[in-house]
Amino acid sequence: MSVLRDGGADIVDAVGRPRAALLALLEDADALIVRSETRVDDELLAAGPRLAVVGRAGVGVDAIDLGAATKRGIVVLNTPGGNTLAATEQTFALMLNLVRHTTRAHQRLQRGEWSRRDLVGTELAGKTIGIIGIGRVGSNVCTRARAFGMHVLAYDPFVSQARAEALGAKLVDLETLLRNADFVSLHAPRTRQTQDMLGTRELALMKRGARLINCARGGLVVEEALFAALDSGHLAGAAIDVVRDEPPPEGGTARKLHAHPNVVATPHLGGSTHEALARIATDLARDVLAVLGGRPPVAAVNAPVAPADEVRPFVDLAYVLGSLYPQIAARATLPSFSLTLEGELAKYPAEPFVAAFLVGLLQHMSDRRVTAVNAQEIAHEMGIAVEPLVARCERGFAAGLALRGGETSVAGTIVHGEQLRLVEIDGYEIDVEPRGALIATRHRDIPGIVGKVGTVLGAAGINISNMQVARDGVDGIAIMVIGVGDAPGAEVLEQLRALDGLEAVRCIVFDR
């Protein structure tokens, strides 16, 4: 909560309150943060006319009506990476418990019994694990399974053979995986395609004596079929952290699974570590503040395409270029734009960069709430087109973004992995951090201009933090970019424009 408070947010704790109270509170809310227990349907979203963002403290967004949120322009966030390590370790905690009978042995000792009868375990080394879904958690399970000396098979229709091989896994089809794995571990999201993906037929394909682990999502396995496979002895055991309905209803199949002697179960503890909860809270708070501040978030579920981790600073840069353009462009009308992904960026999808650029641009052009969710739609209504291009980066950087609109062009890059830099304005080479307030001038390249500008700013009590001058060497025209502590008022800007030799003066303010 400290991250939210430090970011200027007022927090109302609605934990444990009835739904009617939550509906009333949403009338004045700009953001809503929930756990999996809260069902965010259209009625709830409609109760928040100012609602800009819904954040899910966790991975799954099954309880959030994504379609209704997208229609209303509300960004839905989750925290896909916050509990990766916790869920990975929970997978092995349950797997080892299952094969070493830890819970049963502990229960005997609690009853005062010292008995090792029927508690002989099974080693993981040399066994084959089949991992269904090798995303964040699945890939971490793969790495650790190899450390245990296991052979790894993987099934994931969205992953290439090269990616699987880099993880040390053999990519196979689902049937091959089920037939050959001693352990099957689920790490897929719950979607219409994966719902009930393991039923009676699929469980029957598994080796007799195999074991199933599910620390992913409830509903991936048909619970009745799993109970039957365990009860018949076809499967030696199952370790489950999740079930279809949580908490499971009295008398349901999930309750029977939890009571089965060959099942090790926990009440959805996969992400419940102190470290994971802290990461989730911090990551989500930062993303919520980003949306409320009009900036692109890191993990928007209903954004066009989620950016890869390594290019997220460039997505922020795209937003900065969008915010910069209307503050420096000479023409008030909006032309068609080109956004060029240069160098190593060329191999990534353009959608996140275009969406972030539009969010930065349109917040200066529209009084509507603009987010990554509705930016494309608003741009289309306003007749704004953005053409994504790819090209080599010829400025000496490994990657960069270049924007052109009408007669105005700007470019930027990332240095040291996270620092944003503007490196070109209208063909003039610069090196400026886009932060705070800047004054940009276009002037004749004659002696005395810099001094005159400094005199005006000094008289107005405006401190200069840095200054750069770039010349074209042909037309005798130069630009000057000045970092200032505070944005100058209209009167100061008019004094600068009145200086002999200055052709244009603009104040640029970044919300970073």
List residues with catalytic annotation.
217, 246, 268
Residue corresponding to tokens 């040399």: 126
Residue 319 burial (CB < 10 Å; 0-12/13-18/19+)?
A: buried
Confirm if 432 and 480 have CB atoms less than 8 A apart.
no
The rounded distance, in Å, linking the Cα atoms of 181 and 158 is 21
Q: Cα dihedral angle (447, 448, 451, 457), rounded to 10 degrees?
A: -120
The rounded distance, in Å, linking the Cα atoms of 266 and 243 is 10
The rounded distance, in Å, linking the Cα atoms of 306 and 77 is 11
Q: What are phi and psi of 437, to 5 degrees?
A: -115, 140
Q: Considering Cα of 298, then 304, then 306, then 312, what sign does the dihedral take?
A: negative
Token digits for 442? 């276009």
Residue corresponding to tokens 């830890």: 102
Q: What are phi and psi of 173, to 5 degrees?
A: -80, 165
DSSP category for residue 451: H
Confirm if 384 and 355 have CB atoms less than 8 A apart.
no
Token digits for 456? 């005006």
- The distance between the two most distant Cα atoms of the chain, rounded to a whole number of Å, is 97
3-state secondary structure of 177: helix
The rounded distance, in Å, linking the Cα atoms of 473 and 470 is 9
Confirm if 402 and 387 have CB atoms less than 8 A apart.
no
Query: Taking the CB of residue 273, how many other CB atoms lie within 10 A of it?
Result: 16
Token digits for 69? 């949120």
Cα distances (Å, whole numbers) of residue 377 to 64, 299, 304, 320, 488: 22, 20, 12, 20, 35
